Chains A and B, each alone.
Chain A
Amino acid sequence: MSKEPVAVTGIGQTKHVAARRDVSIAGLVREAARRALDDAELTWADIDAVVIGKAPDFFEGVMMPELYLADALGAVGKPMLRVHTAGSVGGSTALVAAGLVAARVHGTVLTLAFEKQSESNAMWGLSLPIPFQQPLLAGAGGFFAPHVRAYMRRTGAPDTVGSLVAYKDRRNALKNPYAHLHEHDITLEKVQSSPMLWDPIRYSETCPSSDGACAMVLTDRAGAARSPRPPAWMLGGAMRSEPTLFAGKDFVSPQAGKDCAADVYRQAGIKDPRRDIDAVEMYVPFSWYEPMWLENLGFAEEGEGWKLTESGVTELDGDLPVNMSGGVLSANPIGASGMIRFAEAALQVRGQAGEHQVDGARRVLGHAYGGGSQFFSMWLVGDRPPTS
């Protein structure tokens, strides 16, 4: 079975901010879509189908918003799919869209993910009481903090590593015009002295709540040939899921994450991710997840991820830059956050990441996860089309 190669020829984002009061949800998504079309130098008429994703509908209080958004995204008369896989949804949405091209069902697909958190209250949206289930532990940080603790205990990582990640990502964000947080006066000391929210996670080591959208134009080989700018080529993509809670689940390094990465590497012919991959956009909503995912994704041996971070390898000018855009720590429109990782990976291999461009980035991984570290979606993009 040969698949059609999939290329990214258009990328658009909104400037992520705490509240976009100047636009409706429709206005927000249209802005990102329009920018992606402009980047690809295409019009709405060139799009064969639309695949849209976002995190739970309760975040804006609109049930199945794709119905209302059909007009704003030029989808009338076209197929429109709505993906929802919790926090990994931005990545999954891009993969579903890529699947339409790879299967040769459609030639050119617009994919978009968004969250307009200011329309509602995400904390409330996640906090509805469910019979016979544990109440949510004071937001996502409450859920993830014990797993960070487990990581520190398991690996002996010094408690300074988390602040290094936050300090790095917030500095990287200063080079990304679309990032939500632009903290020009950031220092390591400021991160380290910020209030403790969920021990060991400090205020400055957490993601913001953002309004924002991200869109991409995905197309086939013929579409890529017409692209005015260098395309990014999908070399591998995969999703993996495991149950939320069960005895034996490794919350520090979930098996689904490992399997997902292994599948992507197999497709892309990656033998040694540490050597063969030039940079990574990974889903790090709490700073400690950088060293944790470095291990889960095979960039470091178990217990060694924090050493990569501590030694500066993951800095923008390091040997394996991580979250060049500033990452989820600097902008978190939840449903879009995964797609932003995928899109930023594509920007890098297209050489269009501007001030946060990594020189010579040829193969870059985009990574997203969601739920209780149970849903994973990833893709690896490159500057050359796949050879097999």
Chain B
Amino acid sequence: MTREQARGAREIAVVAFAQTDHRRTSEEHSEVEMLMPVLHDVLEQTGLKTADIGFTCSGSSDYLAGRAFSFTLALDGVGAWPPISESHVEMDGAWALYEAWTKLLTGDADTALVYSYGKSSPGSVRDVLTRQLDPYYVAPLWPDSVALAALQAQALIDAGETDEPALAGVAARSRAAATTNSHAQLRGSVPHGEYVVRPLRTGDCPPIGDGAAAVVLAAGERARQLCARPAWIRGIDHRIEAHGLGVRDLTDSPSARLAAEKAGVFEQPVDTAELHAPFTAQEVVLRKALRLDDRVTVNPSGGALAANPIMAAGLIRIGEAAARIHRGESDRALAHATSGPCLQQNLVAVLEGDPR
């Protein structure tokens, strides 16, 4: 939504956020079992029960679960009885939040529960993600997600935008920030490691892990009742780029820039940015596209380099940004989510707290 449209529309805020501790494996838990504590947590924060929620929307991917219709059983965790108004996107939960936001804008609901989850542990996520690629010309070659990210990183180095020590610095800063995030999978001083795919080393890549997250949205006065300092969504937009890497400039992210512009990011400075940059080089690309300078606190949670539960990591960025506003640590924050190879699709939201 553009900011012109947002004016005059009803105000909608993130009023609660919960996430799991993200782990390398969670084989002792089903997806529903992984999700349940998060759903309970986020509802308890607001005092709402399932029956009080006006709209529910989730994000997940069948390919991680290794089975069709995996989300249908996750719905059991919500307790959808009596029947609920509910929908699902086969995308990161950030896009489920976007759908829920549009639902609240129409006035059809005053509150929304948004959740997403991903268990990468049952398979090889590098191989699984190759199935996202053009099924006729690219997927049969099995170019894995790290190799594609390495192409992007190398393009960035070749363009003189960064170098390997700078990338190592991104990783070190993220993991140092994660020391205060009890949910993070990797925290503190982590060796930068060997090359995985040149120029990317272990430390340039996200941990592979399982996790879930949930958010409650509320409109207008309802938000103020449910949360002492709601994180108002001042703008949110998402854009997609061409799929073929050969037709994209991998050193730039025009879709992130456009989404940010439409969301109103550039109107006033933000103090915080939670970026969904699973690879160090992608933070470099996003900082440029989103015009983030050193005055902005980037990824105080540690970001996706500290925990990257696929399909939930984008929603977690929105949740982390909102939680900082709830706690009074931010007044105007940017949250970003990405999908597809080399930042193909990007969502940007601007969250603000009431003036203090």
Contacts and interface: CB of A to CB of B under 8 A. Distances in A.
Nearest to A83: B89
A302 interface: no
B356 interface: no
A239 interface: yes
A1 interface: yes
Contacts of A102: 106
Interface string B169-200: 00000000000000000000000000000000
A56 B69 CA distance: 6
A60 B132 CA distance: 11
A252 interface: no
Interface in A125-157: 125-126, 128, 130, 132-133
B97 to A, nearest CB: 12
A71 B88 contact: no
Given A62-B135, A79-B237, A96 B87 contact: yes
Contact of B99 (A56, A99, A259): A99
Given A24-B136, A62-B131, A239 B87 contact: yes
A77 B68 contact: no
B279 interface: no
> Residue among B5, B82, B87 with the most chain A CB within 10 A?
B87
A85 interface: yes
Interface residues of A, number: 68
Contacts of B44: none
A78 B73 CA distance: 32
Contacts of B83: 240-242, 254-256, 259-260
A241 B72 CA distance: 10
Contacts of B9: 103-104
A374 B74 CA distance: 13
Interface in B259-278: none
Given A241-B75, A243-B76, A64 B99 contact: no
A318 interface: no
Contact of B66 (A62, A76, A81, A128): A128
A275 to B, nearest CB: 26
A55 B9 CA distance: 33
Given A77-B255, A255-B83, A374-B72, A68 B135 contact: yes
Interface in A229-278: 238-244, 246, 254-256, 259-260, 263
B242 A64 contact: no
A105 interface: yes
B73 A244 contact: yes
Contacts of B61: 57, 63-64
A86 B69 contact: yes
B62 to A, nearest CB: 5
A381 B239 CA distance: 30
A67 B76 contact: no
B339 A67 contact: yes
Given A75-B240, A104-B5, A105-B105, A241 B86 contact: yes
A286 to B, nearest CB: 18
B94 to A, nearest CB: 11
Contacts of A78: 239-240
Contacts of A99: 99, 102-103, 106
Interface string A82-107: 11111000001001100110111100
A243 B73 CA distance: 8
B129 A63 contact: yes
Contacts of A79: 237-240
A105 B5 contact: yes
A288 B132 CA distance: 38
Nearest to B91: A82
Nearest to B311: A64
A60 B134 CA distance: 12
Contacts of B227: none
A173 interface: no
Interface residues of B, number: 65
B17 interface: no
A260 to B, nearest CB: 8
Contacts of A104: 5, 9, 105
Contacts of B5: 104-105
A203 interface: no
A122 to B, nearest CB: 9
B103 A125 contact: no
Interface string A14-33: 00000000001100000000
A24 B98 CA distance: 30
B89 A82 contact: yes
B87 A92 contact: yes
Interface in B36-68: 56, 61-63, 66-68
B116 to A, nearest CB: 13
B63 to A, nearest CB: 4
B139 A3 contact: no
Interface in B293-317: none
Contacts of A244: 72-73, 75-76
Interface in B1-36: 1, 5, 9-10, 30
Contacts of B80: 241-243
B239 A77 contact: yes
A75 B344 CA distance: 12
B232 interface: no
B252 interface: no
Interface string B129-155: 101111110010000000000000000
> Residue among B10, B108, B344 with the most chain A CB within 10 A?
B108
B62 A81 contact: no
Contacts of B328: none
A58 interface: yes
A76 B241 contact: yes
A360 interface: no
B86 A239 contact: yes
Contacts of A92: 87
Contacts of B67: 58, 128, 130
Given A104-B9, A130-B67, A243-B76, A76 B134 contact: no
A243 B136 contact: no
30 contacts: A24-B136, A56-B68, A57-B61, A57-B68, A59-B68, A62-B135, A63-B62, A63-B129, A66-B91, A67-B341, A67-B345, A68-B243, A70-B240, A75-B240, A77-B258, A84-B88, A92-B87, A95-B87, A103-B102, A103-B103, A103-B105, A105-B5, A132-B30, A240-B85, A241-B75, A242-B83, A244-B72, A244-B73, A246-B76, A372-B72
Interface of A: 1-3, 24-25, 55-71, 75-86, 92, 95-96, 99-100, 102-105, 119, 125-126, 128, 130, 132-133, 238-244, 246, 254-256, 259-260, 263, 371-372, 374-375
**3 shortest A-B CB distances, which residue pairs?**
A1-B107, A56-B68, A256-B83
